[in-house]
């Protein structure tokens, strides 16, 4: 029986996707079960299957929701004022804030368990999002705020930092948006290696 697209049913779907994202991130797609996801929401399995016919359909919904969130934040960063580096800082900050408020996104990169058509759509969407991120990096290279680099690799590294690291947020006591943002920005935009002259001065 088709589920009505009422505000109540949409709210339930949001709750299910949020819970499923957490379970799949923690255990991986293969080990996550519909029963475990249902239990995390105090639902019966039958209720979960009323909204999503199987685990693949639910995981696909999780990917779509994560990409919707990430694309919205990317567009905000693209439209922001300032240099490429400033817009990249804006993106990092907004992604981290979003994940603190709304929970982690589903990891990017592994879509092997999806159906052929689902995988094609998600792969195209992911490529488009990476292209948007590369565009910000290339703008930064042009304006001199970002050093020349392979933007394809840089985009993947940035996604890895902000998406994967955010999965650890609930497990690290005292971690804040500011502390996580500061470390990511230091590693990504500044680098961990100190200036040789400054290092020698500190040592001497």
CA 32 to chain centre: 19
Is there a domain that residue 22 lies in?
yes
- Dist CA 88 CA 86 (whole Å): 5
**pLDDT > 70 in the chain, percent:** 86
For 146, the domain range is 7-195
Is there a domain that residue 202 lies in?
no
Task: Using pLDDT thresholds of 50, 70 and 90, give the confidence band for residue 21.
Answer: very high
CA 25 to chain centre: 11
pTM score: 0.83
Give the range with max mean pLDDT: 60-64, 92-96, 187-191.
60-64
Res 1 pLDDT > 50: no
Task: Using pLDDT thresholds of 50, 70 and 90, give the confidence band for residue 2.
Answer: very low
Helices (H), 28-54: 34-40, 45-51
CA 131, 21, 51, 70 dihedral sign is: negative
Task: Using pLDDT thresholds of 50, 70 and 90, give the confidence band for residue 4.
Answer: very low
Is there a domain that residue 89 lies in?
yes
Is there a domain that residue 85 lies in?
yes
The per-residue pLDDT of the chain, averaged, comes to 85
Residues 6+ apart with CB under 8 A from 87: 77, 78, 80, 136, 139, 140
Is there a domain that residue 204 lies in?
no
6-25: average pLDDT: 87
The total of structural domains in the chain comes to 1
Is there a domain that residue 57 lies in?
yes
Cα angle 136, 139, 145 (rounded to 5 degrees) comes to 100
Q: Tell me: the pLDDT tens digits for 32-76?
A: 999 999 999 999 999 999 999 999 999 999 999 999 999 999 999
CB 67 within 8 A of CB 125: yes
Residues 6+ apart with CB under 8 A from 52: 16, 58, 61
Q: Tell me: the pLDDT tens digits for 132-165?
A: 999 999 999 999 999 899 999 999 888 888 777 7
Is there a domain that residue 54 lies in?
yes
- Dist CA 52 CA 34 (whole Å): 10
Q: What is the DSSP letter of 31?
A: T
| Residue-level pLDDT at 121 | 96
Task: Using pLDDT thresholds of 50, 70 and 90, give the confidence band for residue 166.
Answer: low
CB 184 within 8 A of CB 178: no
With residue 121 as reference, give the H or E element that holds it: helix 116-143
Task: Using pLDDT thresholds of 50, 70 and 90, give the confidence band for residue 96.
Answer: confident
Which among 152, 133, 150, 154 has a CA at the least distance from the CA of 90?
133
- Dist CA 106 CA 23 (whole Å): 10
Is there a domain that residue 144 lies in?
yes
Q: How many CB atoms lie within 10 A of CB 2?
A: 4
CATH of the domain at 140: 1.10.357.10
CB 90 within 8 A of CB 80: yes
């Amino acid at each position: 029986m088709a589920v009505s697209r009422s505000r109540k049913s949409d709210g339930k779907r949001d709750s299910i996707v949020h819970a499923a994202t957490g379970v799949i991130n923690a255990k991986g797609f293969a080990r996550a079960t519909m029963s475990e996801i249902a239990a995390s929401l105090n639902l019966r399995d039958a209720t979960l299957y009323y909204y999503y016919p199987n685990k693949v359909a639910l995981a696909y919904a999780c990917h779509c929701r994560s990409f919707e969130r990430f694309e919205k934040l990317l567009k905000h960063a693209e439209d922001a004022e300032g240099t490429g580096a400033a817009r990249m800082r804006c993106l990092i900050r907004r992604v981290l804030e979003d994940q603190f408020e709304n929970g982690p996104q589903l990891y990017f990169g592994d879509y092997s368990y999806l159906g052929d058509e689902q995988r094609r759509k998600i792969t195209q969407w992911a490529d488009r999002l990476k292209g948007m991120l590369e565009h910000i990096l290339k703008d930064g290279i042009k304006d001199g705020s970002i050093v020349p680099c392979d933007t394809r690799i840089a985009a993947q590294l940035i996604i890895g930092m902000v998406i994967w690291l955010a999965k650890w947020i609930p497990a690290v006591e005292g971690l804040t948006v500011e502390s996580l943002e500061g470390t990511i920005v230091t590693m990504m935009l500044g680098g961990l290696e100190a200036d040789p002259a400054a290092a020698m001065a500190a040592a001497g």
